[in-house]
Structure 1
């Protein structure tokens, strides 16, 4: 060391020893600015400042000099300071050395030496520390560095560890964790060898409050500059909080089978949105439309569900879970109450064989029901008709049981039971009860058939039986006692046998008998067919008049024997002596006559016609139509309402009354004139009127030929079969209604040979028709056997 330097050091030490100089500590950021204080106060009496010298570390030469001994203050700085140092005199007692910008090399102990004119030198020591901030901060979670300011998603209830590391810096930075401006932890670990410091934040159990919570990591090694801050949000998976089932039917859902319902399962609180599944009695259901609320907090799944009766009592379950979180599933269940119409089944009573029920047995049915809600009505039906208890008929209805006592063939039918509840009505499958019985005649037990000689006659023997008859027997017997078995027949399905019979001689007319046989037995009473020679039909009888009005009337008669052939019916209507109409009917002996005059007398006769000819006429019927409705009645039915009558004027009423009076007078005059003409006695001077011919003598219409009439000898000799006319033309000839025909010559009494006024009401019904040549009544034919 040079001698001069040694002397300066000695001088400083002496001065130091004489008065302990103050030491100031100053910190400055690297690249910032530093202010080093210097005390300018004299140690003794007031004195004048001379020179201020600045030394750095142990250097012997000043690095900065401020001299006020001249006229002007002089400043000098070492070139190594690069003009970064500047001394500012604040007042007579203080001065500050400003360093800007600071460098890490400026970290030294500086000495400020102040000389006075008289006083001793004052030295101030300043320890300058240059602060280097940390170069960066890194936050990591359990899975590694945090990216984009948000952690890896953690499940609710899991633990979390966040580590904040500050690197470099002089001195090493202090690291702390903050949340919502509140200090959480500042326990910093320093690693000088690795030039880093860190702070670990531990959260033992994450709750919903930690979702997206922001934690701030701050690293600072000086108050001269703000700390480095890194903010980190916590991402989480949340469990479902609540699951609800919502039905359109209310809190206690009851569903009707066959109807479609939309059931909603609502899950709240899951993050991410929950996975919703549907289950019915442990079986997964497909479908369900999922919607998520805008904030993602609520997930709804809507299931379109059509329940059936089989679903009643089953468990419908909605499950919601966050698949990121184990054991996070929540569920809500319903026991389904399904309302459905009755399910009905019909069973034959225990011990009964439905295929072997015979007449005289007792049968009972049981109706089994399953319904929700309960059945409130049960009906028993046979062939669609409701059954009620009838002890005399052997029918006993007891709610769900039907008892049939002493069944017969009429008991057979299709049976079912019908049950009703609030949801509807259901019928059970039909049970076809077939009561087995031996054959009996189906239509009628006796029948008369007419046939001509050598004319094939087809005879159908229809018998009722269960099971159907499969074996038949035919026989013939006649009056002389002829009996023989017949074999010329064919059996058809359904219990019918068809015999073709041809009478050739008189002995072939008699009785045909038919017996059927099935598994139960043989028919007891045969079906009988009387074969007679074909003849004219018998006239209709028991004719009555009904539905009489002022312009129409109906006539109904009972049929007579058809002569063994197909017949039709003809009605002749007379007004006085004039035939005004002929009506025919192919199928029935009923006639409706219209377009008649009011208050008028008519006479009607009816006869039958077959291929052999017409029958005798029926007893004439006297018909009188009702009076026509009067003007007053017409006005009553067609006149204006009471309101309209009240609104009519007086003169109009008088005009109507006058018109009505005139019409009444005119009608009275007309009635008088009609009566005079009707009941006027024929004068001998008058020309005789041409009367109508007899029905047997006159054609039915002007366009129809007279019907074929057999001779008397034909009727008396059944073995003599006359040649039949064209029966098809006869039966298909239509009679034109309301055909007016001219009257032929007059009819005479057989006994007196005097003209007879035809159809005179007083005696015509009493006379009996006789043969004019023999004076004997014609033979009578039996209409039935």
Structure 2
């Protein structure tokens, strides 16, 4: 057998006469037709094949030796088999030395059925889903198969279970099998039914499937999060969930039996559940009402499902203030009583009730006639101070509610707006404006003015004052001394006349009194702060002036002034740091100036800068006295240097002797000091320095210099080859000369015996100090020539003297006082 369109293998089972029989020709015939449809000639090499094009065309191939499917069995391979290829095939085999053999084989061609088609009851084709069918109804699903040889089987399957395998009808080559489903339940939703057809084991079964859709009512409905308390005026999202409905349920919202049509809501479908979210802004009257969520199928006729929620709405207390007594439209009169009650409506209950008068809390004060009890406020013997707005405030856990204010109008006689007596200053023939302002209820008032004398009150003519509302303005003129004194203002309304008049004290005007108790505080580098107390203003408006002077101890220079209108408090800025100032402070009015108060102040010195500084050339602060002393010391150092130079030029032997001779007074260390770290050639300066900036001038020499040794570098004689250090003369080496300044103690013999000989020939005590100085090696050629000339003059003088005389000169020099050292010429520059 072979399937239509596939390949057929027709075997040729011919027994051979002997295993070695040689096949020469193979011929194929069909259905007894006398001529072959295919031949295979083995006599040629290679073998030749031939086919009848009308019957099999080029689809036939003879396989003489078989293959893995037909081992050692020759067969005719026929591709793309058609239904006309079915029949009986005969093969004839001719051998070279054997009898011809024949064999027959029947080819059956199988035609597969078409793809099953699923039809509704009305005969229309279904693609993927059939329905929807309402729950409880029946469904008829038809599977139709066209063609197939032999006739196919048509079967219905559900979950690998054969439901129906019988063909209900056959018309020509059309086969139908009708599946009956029902009554349909919720379990049949999305049930998948498969129609399968097959007519041979050589053919793969062909299937088509369909899903059953079912309309179902909702199973449940629930308002999520119900039961919580809501706050009036706030926005909430309330969600209702419905499950089990297909198609999704229609959800509606109802409040006390009325559908909420205008409320905003949205629908979401998630699988088997449908959600409806309602945006609700509850009002306070929603409390106790029923919010209902109703769910029903849009296609089924069934009883809807619903869930309800009794709303609990919280809100800020509603407060209403009510007066129990009837009050006249024109208001109350002082001394009457009034009772107020606070009516409340709130959820939850009010925790606290408070009363306010003009925004201030009203407290229980039975003595003053104020009684606060529960929701009532009682005012007994009411006074004018108790007039004004009253309100009731109630508080619960949601918030605070305020009542509309109730205005209590209390009528009273006029009183002065300013209860203090006014003191004014005026000169003779001056006019002053006296402003009398009163408070009264009713506010329609009349005024009268009086001048108080020791005996009685003298009325003032109405022509001299004016009245506007509750204010009267009097123009009062001073003509004589007796016009000074008290001026009284009285007002009256329909309740009565003013009890206590408004009083004005008119006094003679003059210059203001001096300010007092001035304090200079908070001094900085550029600012001074001054605070004083004002004196009497002389009866007129005054102002305060501070004059600022720069003061150097003897003279003062005015810089600027500052004026203050209200208080004598001044902030003086933009000053120089570390400077003395004088401040002249006084008050003034139109009558003149007060006595001036003078303050002496100073600004603080500037703060020292923090950071790297340039090394100073001087160890001590340079003052004029110290400058002179430094010049003296420098000159003495030069004298010592000249002495050293002269002695070095006498010869190698004598210099060597003097180098080690203590009597010479020259100390030349063999080991030079180390060079400074910064690479300079100058030696370190060893000098005691203190923070004391004062230097005492004793005998023309600073006190501190009397306790210091000065070393100066001595240039080597490059011409003296016998000198020990001549080989290092090219280097930046230094030697030191030491000069000791006697502090006066070495004048005593005892000290001279104990000390060693100094550079000036005197004996130095152990208490003497040494001053060090460096000699500049960078001397000019002119300075070198001057020293050579001095050397020659010195040698000439020494030639006329003997060695004894020279020694005597030194001894006599040693007997001199330190302050009598002879000055010698020198051009070397020293630094201390």
TM-score tier after normalising by the smaller chain length = 0.3 to 0.5
Normalising by structure 1, what TM-score?
0.47
TM-score, length basis structure 2: 0.45
If asked which structure has higher relative contact order (CA below 8 Å, sep 6+), I would say: 1
